[in-house]
Amino acid sequence: MPHRHDLKVFLLSKDKPAGPPRPGPTLVVEAPTLDGLLPAAKRALADAGFPRDRAISFTPTGLVAYVEDPA
Q: Determine, yes or no, domain membership for 66.
A: yes
Q: How far apart are CA 49 and CA 35, in angstroms?
A: 23
Counting the structural domains of the chain, the total is 1
Q: Determine, yes or no, domain membership for 58.
A: yes
> How far from chain centre, in Å, is Cα 34?
15
Greatest alpha-carbon span in the chain: 42
Confidence of residue 71 (pLDDT cuts 50, 70, 90): confident
Provide the residue range defining the domain that includes 55. Answer: 1-8+30-71
Q: Determine, yes or no, domain membership for 55.
A: yes
pLDDT at 15: 80
Give the tens place of pLDDT for each residue, 21-66: 999 999 999 999 989 999 999 999 999 999 889 999 999 989 999 9
DSSP-assigned letter for residue 61: T
Q: How far apart are CA 2 and CA 11, in angstroms?
A: 28
* 34: number of Cβ within 10 Å: 10
Q: Determine, yes or no, domain membership for 67.
A: yes
Q: Determine, yes or no, domain membership for 70.
A: yes
Q: Is the pLDDT of residue 19 over 90?
A: no
Q: Is the pLDDT of residue 8 over 90?
A: yes
